[in-house]
């Protein structure tokens, strides 16, 4: 990785935390089933996790701009480690409860929001502008491997051996991540801003106002929200679609998800080269068009192997789009505003995911199980129409100024 020593530490810390995320993705729901048989309480875990992130995403953005981002990054992972190690000890001693799991999971969501924002905000400070696509691609590829291929099966095997084991290992992974982040050299904080800081409320408003005034990033934030709705509508009912329409058993559903993740790995491998060749406008618009086409094709099919290939194509689009948007935001947002602008954009995304979850269920009930895929295809097409002129105008202006 010829991106520098500090980047390698950031990458290693992200890899360790992503491995922990992959394990907990399987272990937390399995633990919930051990603690309660109430499906409402089990499903409520995800809702509480999302609600906690929504409530803190904006003030965390202001804190990321006010405090040392490296300190937030390693402290958040250390705190996640302490929480899960404590939970593992309580579970091992028979003192676990669903209420305790709710508390821990909501706190994990808050800390994850702080860690993610800090990592995204630090990256442009340790790699040059032209390397952002490559760095984001490598981080995305590592996240996919850890979250989709390595963490979940390892978590399942550990849970079968001992209920508390995957929780403890996840805590250890976060502890390792904290050490990598702590080892990064220097500080990442705007000293001029911290001498006379405004209130968090005012700082959040400043970040939002700056985003609203920036034509391109305002459009990308809006599209991020729409794309999140389009993503979650079909994925909120994917497990039912796989069983009732594709005729897959649980193991087939797991294979379907693994195959789809391969598209993401391909996307992370080719994104930097495609961006250099095509530019941001063409690649971002084409990726959204690819997402629209793939969802529309899934709407038309009930063939499992074809649906798997189309889902892989869909995840390919999602990774290409995500890398382009992250790199553009990191290029264009001033360092002192990066945490707040990132948090406002994430608010759009989290809100979109919440809305999409509800719409997916409604559309599947009113229409058919394939209807959310058709709706998602339409929304992605609209996103492509919005993105093309916005990024193209910026690229032409950037070229004329450069």
pLDDT of 151-190, one tens digit each?
A: 777 887 888 888 899 999 999 999 999 999 999 987 777 6
| H or E element at residue 8 | helix 5-35
- pLDDT on residue 1: 47
Compute the CA torsion angle 165, 168, 174, 178 (nearest 10 deg): -140
Question: Quick check: 234 pLDDT over 60?
Answer: yes
Among 51-55, 188-192, 372-376, the minimum mean pLDDT is found in 188-192
Average pLDDT over residues 220-227: 94
Residue recorded with tokens 């995500």: 322
The per-residue pLDDT for 12 is 94
Lowest mean pLDDT among 182-196, 218-232, 324-338: 182-196
What average pLDDT does this structure show over 288-294? 96
- Which one-letter DSSP state was computed for residue 323? H
Q: How many whole angstroms separate alpha carbon 35 and alpha carbon 44? A: 13
C-alpha 369/C-alpha 364 separation (Å) is: 5
Q: How far apart are CA 42 and CA 31, in angstroms?
A: 10
Position 220 scores a pLDDT of: 94
Residue 129 to residues 3, 57, 77, 330: CA-CA distances in angstroms?
11, 26, 27, 8
* Distance (Å, whole) CA 20 – CA 1: 23
Pick the range with the lowest mean pLDDT from 195-209, 300-314, 381-395: 195-209
Tell whether the model's pLDDT for residue 310 goes beyond 90: yes
Going by pLDDT thresholds of 50, 70 and 90, the confidence category of residue 77 is very high
Question: Can you give 123-183 as a three-state secondary structure string?
Answer: HHHHCCHHHHHHHHHHHHHHHHHHHHHHHHHHHHHHHHHCCCHHHHHHHHHHHHHHHHHHC
Task: Tell me the mean pLDDT in the region 25-47.
Answer: 78
Topology, domain 5-193: Growth Hormone; Chain: A; (1.20.1250)
User: What kind of fold does domain 203-401 have according to CATH?
Assistant: Growth Hormone; Chain: A; (1.20.1250)
Confidence of residue 103 (pLDDT cuts 50, 70, 90): very high
Q: What percent of the chain has pLDDT over 90?
A: 50
Total-model pTM: 0.82
Same fold, 5-193 and 203-401: yes
Residue 261 has pLDDT above 70, yes or no: yes
- pLDDT for position 2: 63
Round the average pLDDT of the chain to a whole number and report it: 88
Higher pLDDT, 201 or 216: 216
The whole-number pLDDT of residue 388 equals: 93
Q: Which of 220-229, 253-262, 357-366 has the lowest mean pLDDT?
A: 253-262
Q: What band does 80 get if pLDDT is binned at 50, 70 and 90?
A: very high
Residue 398 has pLDDT above 70, yes or no: no
Task: Find where tokens 């530490």 sit.
Answer: 9
Query: Rounded mean pLDDT of 83-106?
Result: 92
Q: What is the mean predicted confidence (pLDDT) over 318-322? A: 92
The percentage of residues in the chain with a pLDDT greater than 70, rounded to a whole number, is 95
Q: Residue length, the chain?
A: 402
Compute CA distances 267 → 141, 152, 322, whole Å.
Answer: 8, 21, 10
| Domain range list for the chain | 5-193, 203-401
The mean pLDDT of 376-385, rounded to a whole number, is 95
Q: Say yes or no to pLDDT of 194 above 60.
A: no
Phi, psi of 301 (to 5 degrees): -115, 155
pLDDT at 279: 92
Quick one: pLDDT at residue 305?
Answer: 93
Q: Give me the mean pLDDT over the 278-294 stretch.
A: 95
**Which pairs from 301-310 meet CB under 8 Å and 24+ separation?**
302/245, 302/246, 302/247, 303/246, 304/246, 304/247, 304/248, 304/252, 304/256, 307/242, 307/246, 307/256, 308/255, 308/256, 308/259, 308/260, 309/259
d(CA 329, CA 342): 8
* pLDDT band with cut points at 50, 70 and 90 for residue 224: very high
Residue environment code for 99-138, b if the CB has 16+ CB neighbours within 10 A, otherwise e: eebbebbbebbbbbbbbbbbbbbbbbebbeeebbbbbbbb
- Between 41-50, 230-239, 240-249, the lowest mean confidence (pLDDT) is in 41-50
Rounded CA gap, 75 and 195, in Å? 22
Reported confidence tier of residue 204, pLDDT bands at 50, 70, 90: confident
pLDDT in tens, 141-152: 888 888 777 777
């Amino acid at each position: 990785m010829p991106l520098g020593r500090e980047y390698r530490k950031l990458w290693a810390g992200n890899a360790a935390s992503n491995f922990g995320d992959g394990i907990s993705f399987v272990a937390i729901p399995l633990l919930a089933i051990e603690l309660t048989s109430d499906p409402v309480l089990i499903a409520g875990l995800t809702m509480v996790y999302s609600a906690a992130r929504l409530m803190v995403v904006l003030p965390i953005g202001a804190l990321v701009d006010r405090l040392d981002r490296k300190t937030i990054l390693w402290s958040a992972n250390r705190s996640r480690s302490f929480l899960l190690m404590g939970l593992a000890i309580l579970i091992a001693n028979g003192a676990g409860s669903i209420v305790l799991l709710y508390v821990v999971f909501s706190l994990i969501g808050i800390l994850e929001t702080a860690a993610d924002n800090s990592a995204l905000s630090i990256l442009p400070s340790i790699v040059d502008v032209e390397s952002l696509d490559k760095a984001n691609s490598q981080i995305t590829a590592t996240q996919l491997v850890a979250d989709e291929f390595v963490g979940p099966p390892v978590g399942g095997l550990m849970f079968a051996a001992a209920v508390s084991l995957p929780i403890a290992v996840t805590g250890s992974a976060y502890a390792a991540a904290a050490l990598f982040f702590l080892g990064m050299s220097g500080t990442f904080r705007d000293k001029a801003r911290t001498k006379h800081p405004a209130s968090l409320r005012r700082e959040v408003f400043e970040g939002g106002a700056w985003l609203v005034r920036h034509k391109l990033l305002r459009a990308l934030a809006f599209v991020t929200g729409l794309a999140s709705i389009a993503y979650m509508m079909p994925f909120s009912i994917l497990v039912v679609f796989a069983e009732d329409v594709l005729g897959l058993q649980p193991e087939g559903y797991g294979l379907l998800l693994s195959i789809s993740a391969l598209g993401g790995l391909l996307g992370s491998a080719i994104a930097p080269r495609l961006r250099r060749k095509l530019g941001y406008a063409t690649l971002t618009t084409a990726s959204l068009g690819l997402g629209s086409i793939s969802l529309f094709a899934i709407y038309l099919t009930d063939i499992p192997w074809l649906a798997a290939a189309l889902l892989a194509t869909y995840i390919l689009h999602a990774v290409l789009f995500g890398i382009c948007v992250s790199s553009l935001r990191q290029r264009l947002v001033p360092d002192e505003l990066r945490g707040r602008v990132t948090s406002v954009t994430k608010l759009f995304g989290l809100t979109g995911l919440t809305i999409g979850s509800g719409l997916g269920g409604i559309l599947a009930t009113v229409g058919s199980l394939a209807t959310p895929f058709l709706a998602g295809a339409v929304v992605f097409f609209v996103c492509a129409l919005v993105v093309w002129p916005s990024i193209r105008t910026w690229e032409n202006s950037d070229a004329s100024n450069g």
